[in-house]
Structure 1
Amino acid sequence: MATTTYQPSPQAGDHAADVKAEETSGVLERILADPGLSLRERLWSGTQCELRLLFSLAVPAVIVYMINYVMSMSTQMFAGHLGNRELAAASLGNTGIQIFAYGLMLGMGSAVETLCGQAFGAGRYDMLGVYLQRAAVLLTLTGLLLTLIYVFSYPILIFLGEPREIASMAAVFVYGLIPQIFAYAINFPIQKYMQAQSIVAPSAYISAAALVVHLAMSWAVIFKLGLGLLGSSLVLSISWWIIVVGQFVYIVKSERCRRTWRGFSVQAFTGLVGFFKLSAASAVMLCLESWYFQMLVLLAGLLDNPELALASLSICMTINGWVFMISVGLNAAVSVRVSNELGAGNPKSAAFSVTIVTIISFIISIVAAILVLVSRDVLSYAFTGGERVAAAVSDLCPLLALTLLLNGIQPVLSGVAVGCGWQATVAYINVGCYYIVGIPLGSLLGFHFNLGAKGIWGGMIGGTVMQTLILMWITFRTDWNKEVEEARRRLNKWQDQGPTEPLLK
C-alpha cells in the first residue's frame, strides 16, 4: 500500500472513530492492490468496503443538503400560497439574486474542502482549524460586498428587463435575505471543515432541528402575523443562523474536533491573499455552474407571459433541486473520499471511489426521472392550485427528467474535481460549455424560434451535456498515482503564511 511521509502533529489526540475510518481506508487500498485475490474478489470486497465508507458520508450529507434545501423550498411554497404573483416574486428573488451569493460563497468554500480533505488524509490536523478561520474571514469580507447587490436588487432586476411589479416584490423578499449572506460566510467553511473529517451526522441533527423551528416560524409569520414576503425571507435567514451557531458549538465542545480545532488564531488573518487565489479558482468553477440555471430564470422573465413562465420554471427548478441535493450529498462524499485518499497516498482507492459513487448516483437519478414523468400532471399542486401553471409544469417535465439524468453524473464529477484540486481547469470548461454554447443556444431556441421556456431550457441542457462529456473524458484519463504526488506537493508547499505558488490546477 502506498504510504505518506506525513505524521500527525505531536499534540494531536487519538479518536476511535477517526482511527477506524483511516484504518478502513487503508484496508480498501490493500484489497485493491492484493495480487493474491482474483479481479472478481477484489471488485466484490472493494465494493463492499467502499459502500460502507461512502454511505457513512453520503447519507448524512444528503440529509443536511436536503433539509437546507427544504427550508428554502418551504419558504417559496408559503409564498406560493399567497398567490401566483408572490410565488413568481419569491422565485425571482431566491433564484435570480440569492443564488448569486449562494454560488459565490459555496464556491469559495470549496478551497477549504480541497485543502482540509487532503491535509486530514495526510495527518496535517493542526492546519484544518486555520483553514476554516481564514475562509470565514475571507467570505465575511466578500459578504459585505454582496450586500450591495441585495440592497440594489430592484434596479438590478429592472435593468435586466424584469417586470416592475414582480421586481418590486422580489426586492422586498431579497431584503430579508441579507443576514443569510453572513450565515453562508460562516456555514460553508464549517461545513467543509467537518466533512473533511467525516463528521457529517451532527450537522444532520442540527439541520433537522433548525427545519422544525423554521416551519413553525414561517407558518406563524405568514398566516398569523401576516408579514408576507419580507417576513418569510427573514425567517429563512434566522434559520440559517441557527444552523451556524449549532455547528460551531459542536466544534468547540466535541472531542472529535480537538485534533483540528485549537481555538481562534491570528493565523486566520495571515496569508489571505494566497488563500483568496485558491478560493477565487473554486468560486469561478462553482459559480459558473450555479449561475447557469439562474440565467434560465432571468431569461424566462423576459418572455411574453413572464408570470406563468417564472411560476412553472420555479416549480420545476424546485423539484430538480430536491433530487439535486442527493447528488450534492454524493458530491460532498466523493470529494472527501478522493481528497482523503490522495492525501493518504492511496491512488487505487481514490479511483475506485469515483467509479462506485458515479454508478450509485446515476441509478438514483434514473428512478427520480421515471417518477417525475409518471406524476407530471399533479406535481405543481404542492406549490399552487392554478390549472394553467399545472399544464405548463407538465409540459416541461420531459426536460426536467433529462436534467435529472444529467445531474446523476455531473455533480459527482465536479466533486472529483474539488477533491483533486482541478477547479481552475473545470472553470474554463464551464465558460465554454455553459456561456458560449448553452445560453446562446437556449436564447436562440426560446426567443428566435418562439419555443419559450422549453426552448431556453432545452438549449441550456445542450451545454450541460457537453460539459458532462468533457468531465467524463478528463476523469477517465486521470493518472491517480500522479494525483497522489500532486497532493503531496501541495501540502509540502503550503506554509502557515499561505501557499508559495498556486495549489489548484
Structure 2
Amino acid sequence: MASAVQTVCGEAYGARNYSAMGIILQRAIILHLGAAVILTFLYWFSGSFLKAIGQSESIAEKGQVFSRGIILQLYAFAVSCPTQRFLQAQNIVNPLAFISLGVFLLHVLLTWLVLFVFDYGLVGAALTLSFSWWFLVLLNGLYIILSPRCNQTWGGLTVKAFKGIWPYFKLTAAYAWMLCLETWYNQGLILLSGLISHPTVSVDTISICMNYLNWDLQFMLGLSAATSVRISNELEAAHPRVARFSVIVVNGISIVISVVFSAIILTCQEPLSKLFTSDSEVIEEVSSLTPLLAISVFLNFIQPILSGVAIGCGWQAVVAYVNLASFYVIGLTVGCVLGFQTTLGVAVS
C-alpha cells in the first residue's frame, strides 16, 4: 500500500505541488492503520490458521507466539512505510539511512540482551522487534516535523486527509495487490515446506535460504525505491529520456550487486549457515541448495527494478496480473508438483 505514496508523492514533488504531499501521507497512514486493525485478527489467531493449512502443532504454536508478539510492530509498520516513502519522494535519503542504521544497531544490542542474557525467547524477540520499529517511527516523525527540508511538504495534521480517501483507497489497492503477490509467494514457499517430509528441517532450511535471498533483495528494493522516485519525478517534470537513462543505470548496478552476492554465497556456504543454526543436518541441507540459491540471487536482479519502474509509472495493476501468472499459476504450481511428487523436497523452492 505504501508504494502508492511513493508514486503520488513523487508525482506531486515533480510537479512542485508540495502542499499536497503531507495530505497524501496522512491519508495513507489512515488507510494503513485500518489495514493493520484487520490484520491484527489474523496475527492473533495465526496458530489456528497454521493448523488449518496442515502445519505441525509445534510450528503452529511457536508461530502464534511470535505473531502475537509483533502485533505492535504491525501498527508501527503501518506508519513507518508511508513515512519513509514520503521522505524518499523528496530525495531525502541520507537521514533515513542514518536513522535506520542507528535503530538497527540498537535492535541488535537489545535482541542479544533479550535472547542470550535474559533468555526471554520468542516473546522477547518479537517485542524487541516491535519496540525497534516504534522507535524508528518516532525518529522519522521527529525529522519530518523539525527538519527545514520538510517545511513545504508537511503542513501539520489536517482534516483534508479524509477527503478523497475512497479514490485513494482504490488506487492503493492495486499497488498493494502487486506487492503482496510478490511477498506472499516467498512466505507461501516457507509454509509449503512445512508440509514436506521432515518439516522442521525443511522449514529451517528454506528460511535460511530465504534470508540469503532477502539480503540481496534488500539492496534491490533500495534500488527499486530510488528508481520509482526518479521515474515519477522525471516523468511528471516531462523528462522521459532522463527516466529511461535512470533505468539503464540502475539495472547495471543491480547486476554487479547480484554477482557479488552470488559469489559470497558460493564461497561461504558453511560459515553463512552457521550464522543461523548449529544443526548439522540443516547446515548440510542448506549447503546442498547453495548452487541453486546463487542462481536465484543472480536472476533476481531484474524483477525488483522493473517493479520500481512500474511503481514510478503507475502501472501496478498490470504488474499485479503478471505476478499472479508467473508466481502462482506457473511457479507455485510447478513447485508443488515437484516438491510433493518427487524427492527434490525444498530444492524446488
Match of 1:367 among 241, 260, 267: 260
**1:216: how far off?**
2.1
State how 1:123-202 maps to structure 2 within 5 Å. Answer: 123-202=16-95
**1:352: how far off?**
0.6
- The answer on whether the counterparts of 1:214 and 1:239 sit within 8 Å (CA) in structure 2 is yes
- 1:119 and 2:17 matched: no
- 1:424 and 2:317 matched: yes
Partner of 1:388: 281
Range 289-298 or range 222-231, more displaced: 222-231
Match of 2:216 among 310, 320, 323: 323
Structure-2 separation of matches of 1:419 and 1:204: 21
Please report the RMSD computed on the Cα atoms of aligned residues, expressed in angstroms. 0.9
**1:417: how far off?**
0.3
Structure-1 separation of matches of 2:269 and 2:111: 28
Partner of 1:225: 118
Q: Percent identity?
A: 46
Partner of 1:279: 172
Structure-1 separation of matches of 2:284 and 2:259: 23
Partner of 1:474: none
Partner of 1:206: 99
The AA in structure 1 aligned to 2:22 is G
Question: Residue 124 of structure 1 aligns to a residue in which SS?
Answer: coil
State how 1:280-429 maps to structure 2 within 5 Å. Answer: 280-429=173-322
The AA in structure 1 aligned to 2:229 is V
- 1:241 and 2:134 matched: yes
Match of 1:440 among 319, 327, 333: 333
Structure 2 stretches lacking a partner, 5+ long:
none
Partner of 1:69: none
**1:119: how far off?**
1.1
Structure-2 separation of matches of 1:422 and 1:112: 14
Structure-2 separation of matches of 1:291 and 1:383: 23
**1:337: how far off?**
0.7
Larger radius of gyration: 1
Structure-2 separation of matches of 1:451 and 1:223: 36
Match of 1:254 among 147, 150, 156: 147
Structure-2 separation of matches of 1:169 and 1:182: 21
Structure-2 separation of matches of 1:235 and 1:378: 26
Partner of 1:492: none
Structure-2 separation of matches of 1:122 and 1:129: 15
Structure-1 separation of matches of 2:113 and 2:266: 35
Structure-2 separation of matches of 1:355 and 1:217: 41
Structure-1 separation of matches of 2:287 and 2:114: 32
**1:223: how far off?**
2.3
**1:435: how far off?**
1.1
The AA in structure 2 aligned to 1:264 is L
Match of 2:159 among 252, 266, 270: 266
Structure-1 separation of matches of 2:262 and 2:212: 11
Question: Residue 269 of structure 2 aligns to a residue in which SS?
Answer: coil
- The answer on whether the counterparts of 1:361 and 1:409 sit within 8 Å (CA) in structure 2 is yes
Structure-2 separation of matches of 1:344 and 1:312: 47
What's the TM-score once normalised by structure 1's chain length? 0.68
**1:200: how far off?**
1.1
Structure-1 separation of matches of 2:117 and 2:249: 49
- The answer on whether the counterparts of 1:140 and 1:182 sit within 8 Å (CA) in structure 2 is yes
**1:187: how far off?**
0.5
Structure-1 separation of matches of 2:136 and 2:202: 33
- The answer on whether the counterparts of 1:379 and 1:390 sit within 8 Å (CA) in structure 2 is no
- How many residues get paired? 349
The AA in structure 2 aligned to 1:185 is A
**1:188: how far off?**
0.7
